Amino acid sequence: MKNYFRKSASIFKLTLFLYLICNITASSFAQNGEPEINCDETPFVEKDGILVVEIESVNVSSGWSKGSTVAGFTGSAYYQYTGSNKFNAPGSGLLQYKIYITNPGTYHFRWHNKIMVGTSNTDSNDSWLRIPDADDFFAKRNTSIKYPKGGKFVQSKTITEGSSSGGWMKVYCSGTTSWTWSCRTSDSDAHEIYATFSKAGVYTVQISARSNGHAVDRFVLFKDSNYSVSQATNKALNETRCINTAAGKVNINHDQINIYPNPARDFLVINNINADEIVRLKVIDLTGKTVVDANTSIPRGSSYNLTLAASMQNGLYLLNTTTRSGEYAVKKFMLKAN
């Protein structure tokens, strides 16, 4: 009879462990693996030098309408500005996107956009763009560098041709009324758009209304050294994930983090192979109780020895690692203290 109860208890613990694994790693994601969240205040985390953001990932703002009737867009919808023209009033109908840059450097900006009103390919073709907290926000054509008026970087530098104000660029498409990745600034002197982020952290991409009838579908930020324009603007690319504030984080590739020895005895080594800096470690037992909770700093390529609690009993545990950008990984290990 005692053996029966021991076996029953073991089966119960194993079942509970599997339940915890499934719920901790999957509960905050939709069936397609993406977070079921709104990204208004949660940053999209850049990975490998690229960010891909659907315009509808934040709530629609005043003057914009959400559309899905004109074929050729990505994601589930696009936003079309249907209000009055704001040719000299940037900041109206503001759409804001938080981004987390993990690989500092200079990024190329493109958006997928379309003229929705009329047959002219030079009317209803622009919206305002600003990245106010970037370390540099500029337009480039070969060796020519230009800046929007009123930006923090202008000083005596060359100003973009045409309308700009308060660090906002007028960003337009040209040559077609179809969906296009054409994305330029500076009238009659088309320049590509760039932003420099000198350190890892959270930044803000702002889009505001300018021309009635202009629609924006998706934008990308990418390093020219990592991607060609055609690669970065491939509509088959999945959207970058934003951090889930409800769950606190998004899942990362478990291969980026390694732990050993397993079984462990009185410590566990966490090897950060290729993840963002790990800032927190939690060990969870089979009942869901946190038995170790440590704030850490484990940069990419570094290791850390985590001392396990003396009160921990032999058995299976979960190690939950959280990075500075809010991503997490759950690893399981066995403890054999004696």
Query: Under 8 Å CB-to-CB from 253, ≥6 apart: which residues?
Result: 329
For 237-288, write each residue's pLDDT tens digit: 988 877 643 344 555 656 789 999 999 999 999 999 888 889 999 998 877 7
Instruction: Give the whole-angstrom CA distance, residue 304 versus residue 269.
Output: 6
Closest CA to 214 of 183, 189, 238: 183
Q: What is the pTM of this model?
A: 0.66
Closest CA to 132 of 184, 49, 202, 72: 202
Instruction: Give the whole-angstrom CA distance, residue 217 versus residue 66.
Output: 10
Q: Which two tokens stand for residue 209?
A: 């209304």
Rg (CA), the chain: 25
For 175-211, write each residue's pLDDT tens digit: 999 999 999 999 999 999 999 999 887 899 999 999 9
pLDDT over 80 (residue 11)? no
Closest CA to 12 of 287, 200, 280, 197: 287
Q: What is the pLDDT of residue 38?
A: 54
For 79-96, write each residue's pLDDT tens digit: 999 999 999 999 999 999
